[in-house]
């Protein structure tokens, strides 16, 4: 019984990176190369895991610390940007799903707090000043 992951087909480089990232993200805390190796198992070499972790760290996806004798890696706590992108996307999606964009937008702006309104004004001013033009 157990997980017979012994003779699975070989992974490509990108595939391995994704798997190692998924492994680190699934762990409750920081993990070492040994932890990853133990979790993924199946014919991976220690150095391969080490290299992959280091590459993910250099890409800025993982951060590392040295709590003991080996580097421990964890997911970079930067979901903020991703969350923002997804939230912006959701707002656009809602806007697109209504026929009357203009009135939805007008209503939205009307119900904003003073602070939000100021933020929006600043953003619009920035957009006008920028090279992107008025679109």
Partner 1 sequence: MGAAASMLTPLVVGVILALAGRRLGDLLPPATAVPLLTLASLVTALSTGFVLAVAGFDALAQLPVVASAGTWSARIVAAREPVPLALGAACALACVALMGAALRRFVSSGRDLAVAAAACRRLGRGTDGLIVLADETPDAYALPGLSGRVVISTGMLRALPAAERRVLLAHEAAHLRHRHHLYVQVAELSAAANPLLRPLAGAVASAVERWADEDAAQAVGERTVVARAVARASLAAQCGGTSRISTTGVGTRVALRVADTFALARTKAMLAPAPEPHRALTATVLALMIAGAVAAIDTGSHTEHLFEMARAATITSS
Decide: 59 and 78 in contact? Cβ < 8 Å.
no
Least distance between partner 1 and beta carbon 46 (Å): 16
The answer to whether 58 contacts partner 1 (rule: CB under 8 A) is: no
13/119 Cα distance (integer angstroms): 43
Stretch that binds partner 1, among 53-61, 99-107, 108-116, 119-127 (CB under 8 A): 53-61
Phi-psi region of 97 (alpha: psi -120 to 50; beta: other; left: phi over 0): alpha
Only one residue has tokens 């699975």, namely: 8
Neighbouring-strand partners of residue 75: 62
Among 46, 65, 67, 86, binds partner 1 (CB under 8 A): 86
Binding site for partner 1 (CB under 8 A): 3-5, 7-9, 14-15, 17-19, 21-23, 25-26, 28, 39-41, 56, 59, 61, 75, 77, 79, 81-83, 85-86, 88-90, 92-94, 96
């Amino acid at each position: 019984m157990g997980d017979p992951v012994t003779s699975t087909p070989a992974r490509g480089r990108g595939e391995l990176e994704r798997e190692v990232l998924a492994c680190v993200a699934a762990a409750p805390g920081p993990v070492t190369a040994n932890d990853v190796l133990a979790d993924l198992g199946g014919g991976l070499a220690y150095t391969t895991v080490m290299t992959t972790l280091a590459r993910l760290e250099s890409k800025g996806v993982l951060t590392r610390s040295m709590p003991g004798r080996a580097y421990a890696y964890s997911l970079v706590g930067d979901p903020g940007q991703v969350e923002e992108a997804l939230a912006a996307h959701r707002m656009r999606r809602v806007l697109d799903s209504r026929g009357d964009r203009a009135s939805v937008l007008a209503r939205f702006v009307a119900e904003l707090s003073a602070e939000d309104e100021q933020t929006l004004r600043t953003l619009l001013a920035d957009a006008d000043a920028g090279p992107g033009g008025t679109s």
